[in-house]
Amino acid sequence: MLKGKHILLGVTGSIAAYKAAHLIRLLVKHGAEVKVIMTPLAKEFISLLTLATLSKSPILVDFFDPENGQWNSHIDLGIWADLYLVAPATANTIAKMAYGIADNLLLTTYLSARCPVMIAPAMDVDMFLHPTTQENIQKLKSSGNIIIEPREGQLASGLEGKGRMEEPEIIVEKIIQHFTAPATLQGLKVLVTAGPTYEPIDPVRFIGNFSSGKMGYAIANELANRGAAVTLISGPVSLKSESANIELVPVTTAQQMYDMALKYFPQCQAAILAAAVADYRPKHAVSQKIKRTDDSLTLELEPNPDIAAELGKRKQNQILVGFALETDNHIDNARKKLQAKNFDFIVLNPANEPHAGFMSDTNRITIIDKHEKVETFATKSKQEVAKDIVDRLEKLLKP
Ligand code: CTP
């Protein structure tokens, strides 16, 4: 059930580290590829040999291998992983993660990981209940991490209470659930627009924007995971679509995105417009490179077609979902767009917050529907945000 999935397991210095062996066995049994990072203290609790044998991969502890100097790249590990599971997670590691301290490989990898992160705390009851630990856990939750709550029970200290790491079987079950959503959208076709558009000025220059496409691609993946047939019309991005259920239609300009959206929309039951479409394009794109002179240069711009407004006019019984990226008057501006473009709901995200918007791996959204109902969500990874958006769409498609 986890075939082809790359799971990175971070093990910290808790007595529960012995459970990492069982966790790895279960993950491998379900077909996952596992790599393990340990903190230096974790080595005292369970042997490298045990975990390396079970994961069929050398265990990573240091930034580089002291024998041959080979660099263990936290960036490559973070990109390789489909999921980073930190289990067991001590109070110390949780605190460091919450505050961005990066003094070992497990922590630097956490900061550079682009995938969802699950954290399974394990500690003594008083450490767990301490307000500082609780605050740190809240902080991690609100930046999009998934916390696997510890259990009540007998602890290594002899005390009774909450702090036992969740059992490996349950953790693996949660991981399987995370990757395999039920095919609730089977038989439906959904159009998604994503990424920026580039509007040529001359053969080597364009007007564009900082959209990374991450939000739109996460939505397309989530729809595809639930069995929908997705047409993903994407501006230029450095992402890949990950599912056989996604038909990728690459475009460059707003006009091309408009043409493709109009072509595919009639066959779709819904469209989610996550693209950051350029509102204007140069009126005269020239065929030769513009040369530098000492004079100032004026570019005349003309408006691009508004894809969302046009689909809003043409929609029959389809659900239309738009985005609003705002720097000010967030709710008011989003409401105006919702009405003007005939959306069924609009996803508002702030453009001027550190963990939200264009380049970020996380987002903080508010959904406003056409009945003026406003729902605000916590900051989460874009994959988790995509689930919230698709959940809402699913309710409208299957009331
Ligand atoms: N949109 C679109 N085509 C355009 C412009 C926007 O499909 N030419 C869509 C976006 O994908 C998004 C929604 O419309 O779903 C709102 O986009 P936004 O750029 O925030 O709105 P604009 O109407 O362009 O308003 P402004 O840029 O003035 O805030």
**What is the overall mean pLDDT for the chain?**
93
Question: How does residue 241 score in pLDDT terms, banded at 50, 70 and 90?
Answer: confident
Q: 329 C-alpha to center of ligand 1: Å?
A: 16
- Nearest atom within ligand 1 for CA of residue 279: 8
Ligand 1: residue of 234, 277, 326 to mutate (most ligand atoms within 8 A of CB) is 277
Strands (E), 253-352: 270-273, 280-282, 301-303, 319-326, 345-350
Domain 6-179 has CATH 3.40.50.1950: yes
Distance CA(6)–CA(115), nearest Å, equals: 10
Cα(329)–Cα(236) distance, integer angstroms: 29
Residue located nearest, by CA, to atom 21 of ligand 1: 324
Residues in the chain: 399
| Residues at CB less than 6 angstroms from ligand 1 | 193, 254, 273, 275, 277, 279, 304, 306-308, 322-325, 337, 341
CA of residue 356 to ligand 1 center, whole Å: 18
Cβ contact 20:88 at 8 Å:
yes
Q: 210-240 pLDDT, tens per residue?
A: 999 999 999 999 999 899 999 999 999 999 8
Confidence of residue 242 (pLDDT cuts 50, 70, 90): low
Looking at domain 189-397, what is its CATH homologous superfamily? CoaB-like (3.40.50.10300)
Q: What was the pLDDT predicted at 157?
A: 81
What is the mean predicted confidence (pLDDT) over 186-204? 97
Beta strands per DSSP E along 241-310: 246-250, 270-273, 280-282, 301-303
- The answer, as to whether pTM is greater than 0.75, is no
Per-domain residue ranges of the chain: 6-179, 189-397
pLDDT exceeds 80 at position 359: no
Same fold, 6-179 and 189-397: yes
Residue pair 306/275 in contact by the 8 Å Cβ criterion: no
Residue 340 CA: nearest ligand 1 atom is 23
For the ranges 87-101, 130-144, 214-228, 278-292, the maximum mean pLDDT occurs at 87-101
